[in-house]
Amino acid sequence: MPARIAGTGRYLPTEVLTNDALAQRVATSDEWIRTRTGIRQRHIAAATEQTSDLAVNAARAAIAAAGMQPADIDLIIVATATPDMIFPATATIVQDKLGIRHGGAAFDISAVCSGFVYALAIAERMVSSGGARNALVIGAETYSRILDWSDRGTCVLFGDGAGAVVLVPAPEPGIVTAHLHADGSHRHILCAPGAIQHGAITGTPFVHMDGAAVFKFAVKVMADVAFEALAAAGLSPTDVDWVIPHQANIRIMDATMKKLHLPEERLVVTVDVHGNTSAASIPLALDTAVRDGRIRRGQHVLLIGVGGGFTWGSVLVRW
Ligand code: UT7
């Protein structure tokens, strides 16, 4: 049985940190951040909010949009690079907070900013093979906790948030095709190279990035994996109604659209509102475009992820 997305949801923490407010903390400006990245503001989780809390809020919205109850969910995958703790998996904490008892599988996956696309591809395979029925796929992050707030090269880029979808069996394929890739030889250009050993943090537990190298790599692989999905589906770029790339930087997104020879009007952009929210960025943008009525039944939506590892992937959805 094929799988389709039956509901979407999103959650952004209440606190908004504008570029002007950031410029009070580090040597930057609203003009620099907007022209280099397209970001106007980001949301910051409250001290009492964990990644699982953001995830649960997005999940409840997605489950309600699917016309379901939490008890109907029998698979939970949380894509995150900022889990609540070392273990258990944030997905099991989400399951508990949703009140699901004696449920199906719940686990996290770590593919950084490609995490949502990875999780959706895995869930699609589990649902379509009969291994699960109603899957909850979440991207949720609290990057504000792993940023060096004195490093203007990284702290201006990221934010906190969560997005979720519910995947169900369907007679027609909603998930048309999915393609995942990684190349670990590029892992040093974007990483948070800290570890916990014998009770102490070793290495540097903050986001480290070679921005220019990430930029170049992202533009190349996003276009490659978009073309890979289109070839597998027998479609051309003009058959795509909406492109939803990882919301990292408007210039990376624009460059990807140019390589696809698609007009900007088909690009969904939310990076201005929430910055780079890593695994949460694609489902945040997806839910925005579903709820404001841009995405309509029968349309083709191309999700493209790219992130640390390096990892990248695409999921082509017929809505
Ligand atoms: O999920 C993937 C995550 N990462 C990304 O998507 C990031 C990809 N890379 C980028 O988006 C861009 O490379 C950046 C936005 C990070 C940087 O833009 P850029 O046009 O590549 O700028 P740059 O690195 O060449 O830096 C230009 C200048 C430097 O000053 P000097 O050395 O020319 O004097 C930086 O020190 O801008 C300076 N700079 C800043 N200035 C004001 C770096 N960060 C800031 C800042 N405010 N926040």
Strand partners, 259: none
Residue 173: band (very low, low, confident or very high) from pLDDT cuts 50, 70, 90: confident
Is the Cβ atom of 319 under 6 angstroms away from ligand 1? no
- HSE-up of residue 121 (Cα within 13 Å, Cβ side): 22
Task: Give 145 Cα–ligand 1 centroid separation in angstroms.
Answer: 21
| Ligand 1 atom closest to 155 (CA) | 48
For 2, phi then psi, to 5°, come to -65, 170
Q: What is the pLDDT of residue 246?
A: 98
Please count the residues of the chain: 319
Residue 186: band (very low, low, confident or very high) from pLDDT cuts 50, 70, 90: very high
- pLDDT > 70: percent of the chain: 100
CA pseudo-torsion sign 68, 314, 223, 34: positive
Tell me the average pLDDT of the chain: 97
Task: Give 212 Cα–ligand 1 centroid separation in angstroms.
Answer: 7
Is the Cβ atom of 60 under 6 angstroms away from ligand 1? no
Structure tokens at 69: 């109850």
Q: Whose CA is nearest to atom 20 of ligand 1?
A: 36
Q: What is the pLDDT of residue 1?
A: 85
Does 276 qualify as catalytic in the annotation? Answer: yes
Q: What is the pLDDT of residue 299?
A: 97
CA pseudo-torsion sign 80, 81, 83, 85: positive
Q: Is the pTM of this model over 0.95?
A: yes
CA pseudo-torsion sign 148, 245, 311, 57: positive
Distances, alpha carbon 78 to alpha carbons 59, 124, 130, 132, 263, in Å: 10, 14, 20, 15, 32
